[in-house]
Amino acid sequence: MFNKRTKIKDLLTTEATGQEVIVMGWVRTFRNNQFIALNDGSTNNNIQIVAELGSLDEATIKRITTSASMKVTGQLIPSQGKGQKVEVKATAVEILGDSDPEKYPLQLRNRPSLEFLREIAHLRFRTNTFGAIFRVRHSLAFAVHQFFHQKGFVYMHTPIITASDAEGAGEMFRVTTLPPENAPKNDDGTINYKEDFFGRSTNLTVSGQLEGELAATAFSEIYTFGPTFRAENSNTARHLAEFWMIEPEMAFYDLEDNMNLAEEFIKHLIRFAMENNREDLEFLAQRLVEEEKQLPQDKRSEMGLIEKLEFVLNNDFTRITYTEAIDILLQSPAYKKKKFQYEVKWGVDMQSEHERYLVEKHFKKPVIVTNYPKEIKSFYMRENEDGKTVAAMDILAPGIGEIVGGSQREERLDKLTKRMEELHIPTEEMWWFLDTRRYGTVPHAGFGLGFERMVLFVTGMTNIRDVIAFPRTPKNAEF
């Protein structure tokens, strides 16, 4: 068997008694023809390999370059040097793959910028920053399943290809096998999708919610966790064209139950990372401090990363209505000094500058905003008594803005059909969705958590392109 290795993370906490071990990994540094810092991605900490002077031949020494891969057999011994408890005294060093130091693009010594690393996203996992980010991302994904599993929710895999627009916002990527040059046409010149692969026009899903609702009206509580796609042309540090979303959907829930679940869920994710990724979070906290040194004092975070996460865990999220939020904005010094670029008045969709004012300047903690005007929200949200607002809720997080969007759903068939008609959403094509309201309709609610925005929040990173392995954004689908 080839792989009898021990992971470096485990070796570093093993008691060294001279026992034989096998390690494999990629070279980070090589000093004095003798000391190799080896990393295998299980932790940011390297294991030090010590080769006795003269034990390595010239040819091997030449091949021990940054990012070359190797297998080392040796004895695990207490380290004589500073900085590590144990090290491996090599008895055999085998190069598995060479890495030409003249060509290898990632030279760690001169601290590559995040922008540069995006251009070599295939190699950036080999840096400490991305090692930490992606181990935290993994943990958060695991914690998502753990949270819902413990509560008895059923995990639904909703389709990636759909014929409907779940958000009704028209920001979809079309899926077709028709030839772009000579697609079959109808008499009026439009493309005849009856000839297309699915016999109709289809697109990549923007949300699994509608299918989630179908399942929730049988299992009571379900969640989805999958990729979603939006063709919105937003080239910001918060938007991706392909992102991962977690969408729980619960029967017998009202808006308040929904908010309670969302808050508990976010706290669970944070707590899980704090308990399981302490080392990586401390590294990221330090990274943030370094990064913010370039900023003027008043632009730096008031709290360190760990402190911020603890603060969020230990405090309730503030809950306000949209109407209250608009009033706060109108009363704010920022508004009076005309600091906002976009208009503030009842009825407008809050822009990121407004959301960030509320969470970062006014409340200084996560805020749940409820009961938005129905005109700026999706067709499926439940209409409130006032006839003007819907039972929506968005969670806004410091440094991020909107992290969760959700609502109680309109379970009343007549109201739902009327709203769909007003918005020109084809009720005949959505017969299956409306059937849930025909056969045993129930009050129900759900929300969507943008997974990458959650990873941003927990890692303290500021650009969403740095928390997904291979970001898809306008004009960019490399790798």
Which residues of this chain interact with ligand 4AD, rule CB under 6 A?
166-167, 207, 209, 230, 232, 239-240, 243, 245, 247, 402-407, 446-448, 450, 452-453
Which residues have a Cβ under 8 Å from the Cβ of 315 and sit 6 or more positions away?
365
| Angle, CA of 48, 274 and 10, to the nearest 5° | 30
406 binds, among Mg ion, ligand 4AD, none (CB under 5 to 8 A by kind): ligand 4AD
Q: Which is nearer to Mg ion, 398 or 405 (CB)?
A: 405
Find where tokens 């906290």 sit.
285
DSSP assignment of 169-197: S----EE--S-SSS--B-TTSSB-GGGST
Stretch near Mg ion under the rule CB under 5 A, chosen from 118-126, 162-170, 398-406, 407-415: 398-406
471 binds, among ligand 4AD, Mg ion, none (CB under 5 to 8 A by kind): none
446 binds, among Mg ion, ligand 4AD, none (CB under 5 to 8 A by kind): ligand 4AD
Stretch near Mg ion under the rule CB under 5 A, chosen from 241-249, 283-291, 405-413, 454-462: 405-413
Q: Is 406 in the site for Mg ion (CB under 5 A)?
A: no
- What is the rounded CA–CA span in Å between residue 171 and residue 369? 24
With H, G, I as helix, E, B as strand and everything else as coil, classify residue 35. strand
* The pairing of beta strand 47-50 with beta strand 86-97: parallel
Count of residues interacting with Mg ion (CB under 5 A): 1
* Largest pairwise CA distance in the chain: 85
Ordered alpha helix ranges (H), 299-428? 305-314, 322-331, 333-336, 352-356, 413-422
Which residues have a Cβ under 8 Å from the Cβ of 70 and sit 6 or more positions away?
24, 25, 26, 27, 36, 38, 64, 93, 94, 95, 96
207 binds, among Mg ion, ligand 4AD, none (CB under 5 to 8 A by kind): ligand 4AD
Q: Which is nearer to ligand 4AD, 280 or 452 (CB)?
A: 452
Q: What residue type is 24 in one-letter code?
A: M
Q: Which is nearer to ligand 4AD, 19 or 234 (CB)?
A: 234
240 binds, among Mg ion, ligand 4AD, none (CB under 5 to 8 A by kind): ligand 4AD
Helix (H) or strand (E) holding 370: strand 367-373
Q: Which is nearer to Mg ion, 405 or 471 (CB)?
A: 405
What is the spatial order of strands in the sheet that 401-408 belongs to? 154-155, 221-229, 242-251, 444-450, 401-408, 389-397, 367-373, 318-321
460 binds, among Mg ion, ligand 4AD, none (CB under 5 to 8 A by kind): none
Give least dist CB 463 to ligand 4AD, A: 12
* b/e 244-262 (16+ beta carbons within 10 angstroms → b): bbbbbbbbebebeebbebb
Give least dist CB 239 to ligand 4AD, A: 4
Reading the block at residue 215, the tokens are 């399942």
Q: Which is nearer to ligand 4AD, 41 or 168 (CB)?
A: 168
Which residues have a Cβ under 8 Å from the Cβ of 211 and sit 6 or more positions away?
156, 158, 159, 162, 224
- What is the rounded CA–CA span in Å between residue 479 and residue 464? 17
Give least dist CB 471 to ligand 4AD, A: 10
Among 25, 112, 226, 405, binds Mg ion (CB under 5 A): 405
Q: Which is nearer to Mg ion, 74 or 405 (CB)?
A: 405
* The pairing of beta strand 202-204 with beta strand 174-175: antiparallel
Q: Which is nearer to ligand 4AD, 166 or 425 (CB)?
A: 166
Which residues have a Cβ under 8 Å from the Cβ of 270 and sit 6 or more positions away?
309, 312, 313, 458
DSSP assignment of 53-97: TTSS-HHHHHH--TT-EEEEEEEEEE-SSSS-SEEEEEEEEEEEE
Q: Which is nearer to ligand 4AD, 40 or 211 (CB)?
A: 211
Per-residue string for binding with Mg ion, 262-291, x by CB under 5 A?
A: ------------------------------
Per-residue string for binding with Mg ion, 200-229, x by CB under 5 A?
A: ------------------------------
Give least dist CB 448 to ligand 4AD, A: 3
Given the rule CB under 5 A, which residues bind Mg ion?
Answer: 405
